[in-house]
């Protein structure tokens, strides 16, 4: 194998009979390097956006959420949940009930996601850090209060300092619909604004309203033990995977235990699909660049006819000659991949530390520059794809033209 690689290396960097071959070989390596660097940059930017958004989600999402495998609500007052609350790795044990309701304020009516939370919710999540107006408060001891997303507040023309009440409506689960008086088929609760939060995510800012758990249970006619989720915040030293398995074993098959990523499974599934489609698009572009390798090898083999005959007379069989030119094409891909990976990682690190590419003027977006997150699996994947496609691009001309030359 050393002989084939040595001759291929000499052919790659040695002087050819025609200068055009040098030019085409250089163009082939540059094309592979550019596409490789682009793949590293694109995948790193997508990783960066995923990391940023997952950080935003974590402000209102617990470490673990337990939900029913079937149905909306379940009884949280059971020995299994009591034992979970006593686990040493559980710092906060909280209950919540989430349903869709109609919010009405001075004639404006908007559907919203109503999340009833208990008194431990601000310890369970980092909701206090998301407050942009007013404060976090869902019950002040005398009146029911509400904390709403900033998009919902804008649509209702509210602010955290109004003293006018909000009305929350939900269809009754126990009454029959009266077609003559349909308004009697709805239950109503009243609350007052306390604060506005913003996590810069549409599904929260434009839809979510936080209220007390008892208000939600009264509105939807559930008793005090019925909830839609039990949520856990773990101690800093707890290992998430170990606690996840232990909690899942305690609650059994009728419940699902979700970590932060599983709680936002739809979003991360879309992100993975976008990343996969982007990778396929870049691979297609790399295939186009591979035609340069085909042309370069074809011209090189035409130029080295005398060398091929000489090697054949010296006893080299057809397989050895094929491997020489196969390694020649693979070296072009390997050189381009190495240069492209170094260039792509350098550009990403520069973007990470210096923020060369800006997002708007810095005030219109959450971030001032494109986020990047260079991950080792992406680098290995790109290198593997480039080398594999380079090998395939070299195989066809070697297979066809060597037979004609020997």
Summarised one tens digit per residue, pLDDT across range 145-204 is 999 999 999 999 888 888 899 999 998 877 776 666 666 678 899 999 999 999 888 888
CB-based burial of residue 353 (10 Å sphere; 0-12 exposed, 13-18 middle, 19+ buried)?
A: exposed
CB-based burial of residue 382 (10 Å sphere; 0-12 exposed, 13-18 middle, 19+ buried)?
A: buried
Instruction: Please state the separation of Cα 341 from the chain's center in Å.
Output: 22
Q: Burial letters for 303-331: b for 16+ Cβ neighbours within 10 Å, e otherwise?
A: ebeebbeebeeeebeeeebbbbbbbbbbb
* CA distance linking residue 277 with residue 156, whole number of Å: 39
* CA distance linking residue 4 with residue 319, whole number of Å: 10
* CA distance linking residue 345 with residue 113, whole number of Å: 42
Determine the average pLDDT of the residues in 4-22: 63
pLDDT at residue 365, as a whole number: 60
- 58-to-16, 45, 174, 197, 325 alpha-carbon distances in Å: 60, 20, 36, 14, 53
- 95-to-4, 120, 166 alpha-carbon distances in Å: 68, 8, 24
Q: Which of these, 221, 214, 228, lies nearest to 258 by C-alpha position? A: 228
Summarised one tens digit per residue, pLDDT across range 195-215 is 999 988 888 899 999 999 999
Who wins on pLDDT, 22 or 340?
A: 340
Contact status, residue 213 vs residue 95, Cβ threshold 8 Å: yes
Residue written as token pair 């682009």: 38
Q: How many CB atoms lie within 10 A of CB 344?
A: 26
Beta bridge partners of residue 230, listed in sequence order: 66, 95
Phi-psi region of 168 (alpha: psi -120 to 50; beta: other; left: phi over 0): beta
* CA distance linking residue 331 with residue 9, whole number of Å: 8
pLDDT at residue 19, as a whole number: 61
Fill in the DSSP letter of residue 184: G
The runs of H, that is alpha helices, within 187-228 are: 202-205, 213-219
Percent of the chain exceeding pLDDT 90 equals 46
Query: Model confidence at 328, in pLDDT bands (50, 70, 90)?
Result: confident
Three-state DSSP state, 326? helix
Determine the average pLDDT of the residues in 361-377: 76
- 141-to-64, 144, 145, 379 alpha-carbon distances in Å: 29, 8, 10, 56
CB-based burial of residue 265 (10 Å sphere; 0-12 exposed, 13-18 middle, 19+ buried)?
A: exposed
Beta-carbon contacts of 287 under 8 Å, excluding residues fewer than 6 positions away, are 389, 393
Residue written as token pair 């209102």: 60
Q: Which of these, 291, 328, 296, lies nearest to 21 by C-alpha position? A: 296
Q: Which of these, 69, 41, 87, lies nearest to 346 by C-alpha position? A: 41
Domain boundaries, the chain: 2-57+267-405, 64-262
Who wins on pLDDT, 360 or 272?
A: 272
pLDDT at residue 194, as a whole number: 95
């Amino acid at each position: 194998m050393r002989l084939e690689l040595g001759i291929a290396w000499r052919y790659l960097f040695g002087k050819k009979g025609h200068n055009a071959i040098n030019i085409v070989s250089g163009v082939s390596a540059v094309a592979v390097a550019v596409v490789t660097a682009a793949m590293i940059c694109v995948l790193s930017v997508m990783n960066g956006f995923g990391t940023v958004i997952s950080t935003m989600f974590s402000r209102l999402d617990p470490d673990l959420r337990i939900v029913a495998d079937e149905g909306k609500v379940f009884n949280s007052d059971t020995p299994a949940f009591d034992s979970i609350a006593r686990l040493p790795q559980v710092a906060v044990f909280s209950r919540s009930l989430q349903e869709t309701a109609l919010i009405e304020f001075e004639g404006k009516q908007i559907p919203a996601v109503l999340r009833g939370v208990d008194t431990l919710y601000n310890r369970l999540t980092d909701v206090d850090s998301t407050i942009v107006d007013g404060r976090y408060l869902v019950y002040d001891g005398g009146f029911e209060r509400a904390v709403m997303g900033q998009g919902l507040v804008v649509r209702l023309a509210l602010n955290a300092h109004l003293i006018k009440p909000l009305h929350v409506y939900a269809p009754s689960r126990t009454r029959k619909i009266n077609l003559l008086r349909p308004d009697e088929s709805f239950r109503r609760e009243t609350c007052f604004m306390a604060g506005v939060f913003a996590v810069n995510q549409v599904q929260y800012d434009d839809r979510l309203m936080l209220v007390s758990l008892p208000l939600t249970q009264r509105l939807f006619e559930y008793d005090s033990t019925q909830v839609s989720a039990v949520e856990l915040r773990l101690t800093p030293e707890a290992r998430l995977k170990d606690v996840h398995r232990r909690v899942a074993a305690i609650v059994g098959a009728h419940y699902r235990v979700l970590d932060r990523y599983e709680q936002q499974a739809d979003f991360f599934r879309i992100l993975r699909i976008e990343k996969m489609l982007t990778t396929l698009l870049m691979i297609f572009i790399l295939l186009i660049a591979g035609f340069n390798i085909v042309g370069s090898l074809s011209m090189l083999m035409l130029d080295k006819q005398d060398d091929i005959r000489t090697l054949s007379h010296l006893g080299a069989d057809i397989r050895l000659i094929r491997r020489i030119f196969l390694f020649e094409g693979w070296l072009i891909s390997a050189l381009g991949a190495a240069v492209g990976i170094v260039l792509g990682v350098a550009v990403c690190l520069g973007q990470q530390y210096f923020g060369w590419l800006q997002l708007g003027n810095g005030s219109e977006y959450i971030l001032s520059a494109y986020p990047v997150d260079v991950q080792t699996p992406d680098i290995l994947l790109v290198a593997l794809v480039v080398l594999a496609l380079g090998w395939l691009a070299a195989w066809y001309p070697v297979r066809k033209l060597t037979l004609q030359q020997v």
